[in-house]
């Protein structure tokens, strides 16, 4: 049995039993190997754009004798899958902007995918904006800390009704805002402190339209976060 991080373990809890997954940016293919060994899934595609991680994934799958169940493919984003080939897509351990970019560029491969499990290291708002534009309903969100880093996990399924988040929900996550757990409070207190320091610096900067625009945006974010964590 391979052991994986708490972060990836948490991701695995959102994978529907028996689904076929694509793990995009799989690196060592830890997640699909773990899910097969645990009996959560029977088949997976592990995609990697870079040769080094692709080789690591391939070696890992071979070492565990899982070649018949996990196909390791070299390719950019969703180009490693065809439409209707998998039912769940996991993209973990990257920035939210990159994740939403991968989804946008690979939209033609998403028919047949019922669930997206996305774990951004930062910039989750880009993913929520992509959900809004593409009608994916956020069904679960979680936040966890590991090795002094805080991670968010977003789980979404298709919907026919329009998805709309307000500015605070986009930034903080509508479900996480309601749960308001201690990790959430810690993350956003840290961010707020950081923005307040930047704001202080900007107060000393030469006035310009750009500076006032940046100050305005920072103040809006500080107010939204203060409201959410109080």
Tell me: does residue 94 bind ligand SAM (CB under 6 A).
Answer: yes
* Of 71, 76, 104, 145, the one binding ligand SAM by CB under 6 A: 76
Tell me: does residue 173 bind ligand SAM (CB under 6 A).
Answer: no
Contacts of 207 (CB under 8 A, 6+ apart): none
Q: Please list every residue from 20 through 49 that binds ligand SAM, using CB under 6 A.
A: 24-27, 47-49
Tell me: does residue 92 bind ligand SAM (CB under 6 A).
Answer: yes
Tell me: does residue 104 bind ligand SAM (CB under 6 A).
Answer: no
Residue 20 C-beta: closest distance to ligand SAM, Å: 17
**C-beta of 57 vs 172, nearer to ligand SAM:** 57
The CB-side HSE value for 41 (13 A sphere, CA atoms) comes to: 27
CA 188 to chain centre: 17
**C-beta of 38 vs 137, nearer to ligand SAM:** 38
* Of 14, 15, 53, 221, the one binding ligand SAM by CB under 6 A: 53
Summarize as ranges the residues that interact with ligand SAM (CB under 6 A).
Answer: 8, 24-27, 47-50, 53, 76-77, 92-94, 102
């Amino acid at each position: 049995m391979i052991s994986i991080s708490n972060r990836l373990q948490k991701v695995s809890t959102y994978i529907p039993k028996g689904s076929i997954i694509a793990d995009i940016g799989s690196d060592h293919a830890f997640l699909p190997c773990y899910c097969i060994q645990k009996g959560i899934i029977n088949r997976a595609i592990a995609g990697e754009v870079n040769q080094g991680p692709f080789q690591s994934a391939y070696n890992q799958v071979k070492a565990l004798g899982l070649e018949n169940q996990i196909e390791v493919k070299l390719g950019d984003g969703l180009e490693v899958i065809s439409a209707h080939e998998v039912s769940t897509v996991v993209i973990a351990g990257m920035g939210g902007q990159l994740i939403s970019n991968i989804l946008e560029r690979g939209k033609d491969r998403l028919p047949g995918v019922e669930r997206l499990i996305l774990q951004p290291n930062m910039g989750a708002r880009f993913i929520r904006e992509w959900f809004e534009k593409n009608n994916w309903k956020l069904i679960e969100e979680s936040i966890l800390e590991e090795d002094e880093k805080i991670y968010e996990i977003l789980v979404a399924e298709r919907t026919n009704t329009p998805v709309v988040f307000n500015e605070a929900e986009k930034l903080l996550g509508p479900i996480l805002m309601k749960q308001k757990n201690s990790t959430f409070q810690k993350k956003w207190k840290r961010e707020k402190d950081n923005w307040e320091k930047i704001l202080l610096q900007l107060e000393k900067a030469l006035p310009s339209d750009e500076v006032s625009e940046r100050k305005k945006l920072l103040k809006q974010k500080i107010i939204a976060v203060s409201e959410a964590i109080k």
